[in-house]
Every structure is written in structure tokens, then in C-alpha cells.
Structure 1
Amino acid sequence: MSLAQVEPLAPQASVVGVDIGGTKTHLRLRHDSVERDLVLHTSDWRCREWQRDADTLIELVERFVDGVPIAAIGIGAHGCDDKLECEAFEAAFRVATSIPVRVVNDAELMPAAFGFERQIGVVSGTGSIAVCRTDEGDMLVAGGWGWIIGDEGGAASLVREAARMVALHLDRGGPQDDPLVRHLFQELGIPSAARIGSRLAALGTAKEVGQHASLIFNAADEGSALAETVILEGGFALADLVARLRLRGSKADAVVAGGSVIASQPRLWKAFQAGVEATCGPTIALHLHRGPPVEGAMVLADRLAAEQRMKQIPERTLK
């Protein structure tokens, strides 16, 4: 489903949606029923300090919209991992601009893109996380611990698990002609089995590690049982994030997954589907958001613009 299938509540309003991912930031403007986009590296502007980031992002938005009066901004922010952090970022925007701004975790953009509220959003991009809201508006979060110790099913952690799988395979005397072994050694420039761990560590960041995730799926296409296992375990680990939220009280009956990895890799999506059915049963509806997450930010901005418009209508006209 795309934004075009979610009926706008304030179609005449000019709004901006922003998806702040761990790797890239995607801005989208809707003005006069036309949309245009700007994509830039998150590391080029974000410093992880609420007020400085809010000030900088508003400057970016102002240059991007080039004088268009904006009714509302919707933001999904990687790293806003609880309700208090979302509120702190929103408070910083109230200092930076008079434009109404709503901030949520970037995983919440997935159900928002479908017009869903209080449903579970799962991101499998550079990292991974699952988020939903309770009826009271509190945020429930599972995962998002970073690729060193978690983020299973995200790009960087899939590469980490592939390296671990290959190391164990070779330790047990497995052959080096498995496609996963070959692809891993070639793409990471590993000179010998003894250097698997040090070469992976030398990449340094989740972004640098995660950009090699396609090697796993290429190896699976070539028949690697090792790669198939990495993908299956990654999908089930993502499904476990959903199960954790339900154990903690989520009443969601739908899950929307998205992000650069799961949206582009059918093998991981199928593994995730199987994992959710195994851990949560068949009653929860699963949806894959194949479009950019900024579509969800646009829905948030549109809703906020509609709310602001209703507040400006005299009470007598509402009767």
C-alpha cells in the first residue's frame, strides 16, 4: 500500500514528512497535490542533541520548501526509542519553529503509511526494531540494541551472523567452496579464515557492515544452506520482536514491516511471516510496506494539519 491509498484528511494543506534513518534522511513535500523529495546522509547533519538537531532540520526544511508555507511536519526518527525521547525532540522543535511538528520512532512510520494506529511497526534496514503504542499512548519497544549485541534481522547484524556462521562452519571442517564462504571472503577482503573477526570489526560502523548484506542473499540464490540458515534465523528473530511486544501487553492485531532489507529481499519477508505465525499464531495480520518510510511521515503530517485546521474552526460551525 502506498500513501496514495490513504485518503488525505487535509488535502489542500502543504505538509512535509521526514524519515530520519540511521543511514539516510528522506524529506518529502506535498504542495498543490504535487510531491517532491530530498534525500541526504543523516551523518551530514545529525549530532544527536535534541535542540541542535531540531534547529538544523528546520533549516534544511526551509531551504527545501523554498518559501512554501507549511501547515505541519511529521517526523519518524531513528533513535527516538521511548515516549520521553519523542517528546523531548518535539519540545526542541517548538523552540525552533512555529510549525506544528509530530515526532515518532521511525518504525511507527510503517503502520502510519497504511493509515493504521496503535499497530506494530517493524523495521529491517541498517538495524532493526519493533514499536507500537498502547491505548494510552505509551510506547512499547523491542529490539533496537545496535548491531554489536542485537538488531537481528537488520543488514549489519545479518552480516555479523553470516560471519559467525562461516567461522563455525570452517571450525567444524566444512568446505570453503560454499557460496556464503566465497562471497564473504571476496566482499570483505578476508585473506584467511583467521581474519574473519578482525576484518568484520575493522569495518567499524553499522552502515559500513550493513552495506554488504546482499552477499548473503546472493549466496542463498546460489544454493548456500549456510546463507539460508542466516536468513531464516534473521526472519524468526524479527518475529520474536513482535512476540515480545505482545507478551508485554500490546493489543495490536496487525504488523507492518518495512525498511530497505525486508522490503527488497523476499526470502527474509517469508522467513518473518513464518516466524510470526509460529510465535503469535495466524490471527495477527501481516503487511509489507514496500515504499519509502517517508510515506508514513506524510500521513502523520497530514493528520496533524487536519487537527490544526479543526482547532481553528469556530465552535459554532462544528455543531
Structure 2
Amino acid sequence: MRFFLGLDGGGTKTACALCDEDGLIVGFSVGGPSNHLSLARGEEALREALRDVVEDAFSRAGIGRPRLSAACLALAGVGLDGRSPVAARVACEVVPADDIVLENDAVAALVGATAKDWGVVVISGTGSIAVGIDREGRRARAGGWGYLIGDEGSGYDIGRRGLTAVARAHDGRGNYTILVEKALAHYRLDTLDGLRSVLYRSETKAKDIASFAPLVVAAACEGDAASVDILQTAGRELGLSAVAVVKALGLEDEEFDVAPCGSVFKAGQLVVGPFRSELLRAAPSARIVSPRFPAVIGALMIALRRSGRVVDGAVLSNMARGCLECGLPVGDVGEATCEGKD
């Protein structure tokens, strides 16, 4: 029996799954962050994170520690071209596999979300990025520049814009918004004068600003004009990222899947509507699809295809069953098939 490993690692957590050649998931584990570019101890922290999650997945699988036929490690610290000397070195030390594939985590997200090896994925959580792959394997990205100079349409962007609206309303430079009351409650303040001391503490990170985004969504659902505008702007920005990828790959007249992923899209039509309008204006034949599988399963698909295994309907069904057993989200499996490439 041949076994395969898929791993999705980012700045928040790392997920690892093991499956057999039929797509039956035999082991699954979740560990801590593994982006060596943002972790204080860099390569050492990456090595520890990968070793912990891989060993835990083997332990849960109960199959010993056999040599794997193939493994795909999709990591946030790997470039879109799949290259990272640091990650490659660590992967060879930690993962016992005949063939190891390194990928950017967004590529695994695309493959998992579409259950295909081409298309476009737009991810918006704390940060944001759009990545596309065409039928010939050419790749393009837009966004992913981080919160200092980018991440438009992300949870951080929405949270920051919401807090800006709060400050403007407080000063009288902008219209009143119910975000004022929500900010006071969220940060447990009596007056907004204390907001500066909360936000400008040295330990404040992008995720702390992004934590205000759900309150912007809630305010928009209550009809707050400022919040509605913030979400619609976010949707347009995410659409523009998708369009940039589409144009870079020359997909304007093609039929292809676009999968919006991440917590921001859960805000619904206030984000998805403007996103769809921007995208379809440039690529009217694009199909916006709900994500089918999470990125860790996309990594498994890449590993299987690497060995020449066709990821057909039966394999996808087994993976979907395994996702449910592991508590992972799974959408409509559909008729998609991932075929191995030469």
C-alpha cells in the first residue's frame, strides 16, 4: 500500500494529512504556525513545527512511519515558483518521502478549492492574495503584499477602515457610525480617548486590527452606511486582484473556476456582489464556485498527481468522507478530476 502526505502551513497554523492511493485519509493533525519568514526563530521554528505535525499525523494514522510515495508541503514562506532553500532543506530532514513537492500555500488552496489544477483562487482572511494557474501551468499572483503596503479587501483592511471611521466620527471629520459603540464595547473602553493606547501597544499585530472586521460586518447588517461602504470596497478590491491575475494569464475569454476563500467572503453579498461584478466585467465566462476542499487536501491532491495517480470521482469521494470525519469543511465534490502531469 502506498501512502501520501499533504501539508498546509501558514502564519497561524499548520495542517497535515496522510492518505492512501485511493484518497482514504488515515491520519490528520493540526499544529502551530510554520511561516519561517515571520517566525522569530526562522528555520529552527519551521523544523519544529513540521516535525511535530508530521509525527502526530503518523501517530494518529497508526501505520508506523513508512516511506511515503510522495508528499506536498504547501507553505506560506515558499514562493509562487515553489522554491525555498530553507523549506526544501527542512522538508528533506523531516518528511520520509521518495518525492517531495514544495508549493506556495495559495497553490494548494486553489487545487483544493477547485479540485482542479488550474483556475483562480482569491483568499481573504487576515491578509489577502489572488493566485491563478492556466491550463499550461503558467502562474500569476496579485496582492499578498502584507498589511504595511497591501492586503486590500482583507480582514485587516476592513478592521482598519472600520477603526478609521470610528476616529473620524469621534473627531467630527466624518459621519456618525454605530461602529463607535461597537469599538467601545470591543476594546472595553469608557471613552474613545483610550483607543490610541490600546492600538499602539508594541504587541499589537495585524490580526488584532483584523479582529474588528466582524463588528464591521455586524454593523453593515444593521444598516450602518459606513460599514456597508467598507465591505463593498473590500469586495471590489478583491475583484480587482482576481482581474489582475486573469489578465496576466490571458483568461478574459476563457471558461475557468474562481474560488473565493477565507473568512471575509462569509460576509455575504456585501462583499461577494462587488467582487462578482468586477470579475465578470473582465471575464464574463468565469465561474464563481464555492470551495470544495481546504488547502491541506489540495496538497494531498498535488502529492497524488505527482505520482501519476488520477484524482477521480472515487478518490474525491473518499477525501470528502475523510474531511467530514476530521471536522474539515467540504463542499460539493462535483465531477472535477485532477490528472497527473508529465
Cα displacement string for residues 77-98 of structure 1 (whole angstroms, at most 9, x for unaligned residues) = 2232431645763454235444
Counterpart CA distance in 1 for 2:131 and 2:111 is: 12
Contact 2:216 / 2:227 at 8 angstroms: preserved in 1? yes
TM-score (norm 1): 0.78
Counterpart CA distance in 2 for 1:190 and 1:137 is: 52
Alignment of 1:140-289 (within 5 A): 140-172=140-172, 174=174, 176=176, 178-194=177-193, 196=195, 199-202=198-201, 204-251=204-251, 253-262=256-265, 264-267=266-269, 268-278=271-281, 280-289=282-291
Instruction: Report the equivalent of 1:109.
Output: 108
Counterpart CA distance in 2 for 1:288 and 1:201 is: 37
Query: Which range moves more in the overlay, 88-97 or 137-146?
Result: 88-97
Q: CA deviation at 1:239?
A: 0.9
Query: Which range moves more in the overlay, 231-240 or 268-277?
Result: 268-277
Kindly tell me: are residues 301 and 55 of structure 1, through their superposed partners in 2, closer, same or farther at Cα, counting changes over 3 Å? farther
Contact 2:109 / 2:294 at 8 angstroms: preserved in 1? no
1:18 partner letter: L
Question: Are 2:4 and 1:15 equivalent residues in the alignment?
Answer: yes
Kindly tell me: are residues 148 and 90 of structure 1, through their superposed partners in 2, closer, same or farther at Cα, counting changes over 3 Å? same
Instruction: Report the equivalent of 1:306.
Output: 308
Q: CA deviation at 1:59?
A: 4.9
Q: CA deviation at 1:160?
A: 1.0
Asked which structure has the greater RCO (Cα within 8 Å, sep 6+), the reply is: 1
Counterpart CA distance in 1 for 2:148 and 2:119 is: 28
Point out where structure 1 has 5 or more consecutive residues left out of the alignment.
Answer: 1-11, 309-319
2:3 partner letter: S
Counterpart CA distance in 2 for 1:54 and 1:41 is: 12
Question: Are 2:55 and 1:62 equivalent residues in the alignment?
Answer: yes
Counterpart CA distance in 2 for 1:260 and 1:68 is: 35
Contact 2:130 / 2:241 at 8 angstroms: preserved in 1? yes
TM-score (norm 2): 0.73
Instruction: Report the equivalent of 1:316.
Output: none
Q: CA deviation at 1:270?
A: 3.3
Partner of 1:150, secondary structure, is coil
Partner of 1:269, secondary structure, is helix
Question: How many correspondences in the alignment?
Answer: 294
Instruction: Report the equivalent of 1:40.
Output: 31
1:214 partner letter: P
Partner of 1:83, secondary structure, is coil
Point out where structure 2 has 5 or more consecutive residues left out of the alignment.
Answer: 311-342
Kindly tell me: are residues 144 and 189 of structure 1, through their superposed partners in 2, closer, same or farther at Cα, counting changes over 3 Å? farther
Kindly tell me: are residues 71 and 143 of structure 1, through their superposed partners in 2, closer, same or farther at Cα, counting changes over 3 Å? same
Contact 2:35 / 2:76 at 8 angstroms: preserved in 1? no
